[in-house]
A and B are shown apart, each in its own frame.
Chain A
């Protein structure tokens, strides 16, 4: 593993955090959505992260990384819907109300989503800092020869 691979690992984290921010923004945008193409109200989505071997490495290095469980990148392995049931509201005038006058709305708390978004933004910043730190490390190493 060389220092460039550290940058690659931080790059995977940046990608993952961007996807997390996307999904959170989608949750926030659809907090009141009662209609989806697949039917029913919008379901809150969660991203699932998994440790992943860094890509762009020769096979031997990948094998070594997998064997000794050293540095790994992160990968979004899936976006899974939340299991929380939709919220039932009495709104007889709503076009999506059922026969009894109830509307099913997504169980999304906008405040929670905002905190998630802040978390994603901060994690993104932290990983950018890691990239900058790695860059500075490589620059420092180059000073040896100067």
Chain B
């Protein structure tokens, strides 16, 4: 079975070496969101593994867990795209 996406590196760790600014509420929110998405993927992974190993797991609960993980990942990607878009817009302001 393919390796799952590992737990995400904390946004704060990503942000701090480059910016060095103190972490705000928004970054914490984003970090929490990333962790939740990571948890959902771990949960989906666990349920699918249980299903494939025949541990009496229900097919539908595994499917629902996968759907939830997929949707939360999509939501995270949309937020990420929006943030990058905003950053690019700001960075294009001429000095």
Contacts and interface: CB of A to CB of B under 8 A. Distances in A.
A135 B67 contact: yes
Contacts of B75: 142
A4 B66 CA distance: 12
A84 interface: no
A5 to B, nearest CB: 10
A15 B60 contact: yes
B27 interface: no
A145 to B, nearest CB: 4
Contacts of B82: 145
B51 to A, nearest CB: 14
B88 to A, nearest CB: 16
B71 A135 contact: yes
B84 interface: no
B58 A18 contact: yes
Nearest to A132: B67
Interface residues of B, number: 14
Contacts of A67: none
Contacts of A145: 78-79, 81-82
Nearest to B70: A135
Nearest to A145: B78
Given A142-B74, A146-B78, A15 B67 contact: no
B67 A139 contact: no
A131 B79 contact: no
Interface of A: 4, 7-8, 10-11, 14-15, 18, 128, 131, 135, 138-139, 142, 145-146
Interface of B: 58, 60-61, 63-64, 67-68, 71, 74-75, 78-79, 81-82
7 contacts: A11-B61, A15-B61, A138-B71, A142-B74, A142-B75, A142-B78, A145-B79
CB-based closest 6 A-B pairs: A14-B60, A145-B78, A11-B64, A138-B71, A142-B78, A7-B64
